[in-house]
């Protein structure tokens, strides 16, 4: 099966810090972590995430990581490239808020859908979305309506509408430590 993976970097990382805080008993549950803005010092390893959500590399056609532009001396995106991701970055707006990520992911998915349709590989193609926003629901519904399998991988506090719309949902919660990037000071 052809597999395409699309990751919303900030969404996975920020929400993962909340999940890790709960796992480390710094917060009672995810709502408490969010309400009190309690996060753990947690970052994920791009390669480990890609292995988890992409599975066997022989069917992986593309993996794209979307995020906002880091400082110039940041090696984040190069590390993602070395793990097999294409990287798409967008500038933040004047208020330092991330913009264009969700629409960028949907746009990339639609480009890849065109390729799969042209190659008559719809039923042999799986789209893997690693994000949790309900903003993706219309795109996921459209893809499933066209015959694609769409797997959503995210933390347990994913949008319930997105979870129920997807062909399959895979929780990242059991893997929070498995995909954690080990810091050099540890």
Per-domain boundaries in the chain: 2-9+43-175
| 88 Ramachandran zone, left/alpha/beta (phi>0; psi -120 to 50) | beta
Percent helix, strand and coil across the chain, each rounded to 5? 45, 20, 35
Assess whether pLDDT exceeds 90 at residue 71: no
Both tokens of residue 164?
Answer: 């129920």
Per-residue pLDDT, averaged over 143-167, amounts to 97
Checking if the pLDDT of 184 tops 70, the result is no
- Residue 175: per-residue pLDDT: 97
Q: The whole model's pTM is what?
A: 0.93
User: Is the model's pLDDT at 185 over the cut of 70?
Assistant: no
User: In this predicted structure, which of 10-19, 79-88, 105-114 has the lowest mean pLDDT?
Assistant: 79-88
Are 156 and 132 in contact by the 8 Å Cβ rule? The answer is no
Task: Give percent above pLDDT 90 in the chain.
Answer: 72
For 132-155, what is the mean pLDDT? 97
For the domain made up of 2-9+43-175, the CATH class stated in words is alpha beta
Confidence of residue 138 (pLDDT cuts 50, 70, 90): very high
- Residues 175 and 47: their CA atoms lie apart, in Å, by 13
Strand order through the sheet with 168-171? 86-90, 60-68, 2-8, 125-130, 149-154, 168-171
82 is written with which tokens?
Answer: 């070395």
């Amino acid at each position: 099966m052809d597999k395409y993976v699309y990751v919303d970097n900030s969404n996975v990382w920020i929400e993962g810090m909340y999940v890790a805080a709960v796992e480390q008993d710094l917060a009672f549950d995810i709502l408490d972590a969010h309400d009190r803005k309690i996060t753990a010092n947690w970052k994920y390893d791009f390669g480990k995430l890609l292995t988890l959500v992409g599975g066997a590399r022989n069917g992986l056609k593309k993996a794209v990581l979307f995020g906002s532009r880091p400082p110039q001396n940041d090696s984040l995106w190069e590390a993602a490239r070395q793990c097999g991701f294409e990287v798409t970055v967008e500038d933040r707006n004047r208020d330092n808020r991330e913009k264009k990520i969700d629409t960028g992911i949907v746009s990339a998915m639609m480009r890849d859908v065109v390729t799969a349709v042209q190659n008559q590989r719809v039923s042999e193609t799986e789209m893997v979305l690693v994000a949790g926003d309900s903003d993706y629901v219309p795109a996921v519904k459209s893809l499933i309506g066209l015959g694609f399998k769409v797997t959503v991988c995210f933390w347990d506090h994913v949008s319930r509408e997105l979870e129920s719309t997807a062909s399959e949902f895979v929780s990242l919660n059991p893997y929070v430590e498995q995909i954690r990037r080990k810091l050099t000071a540890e």
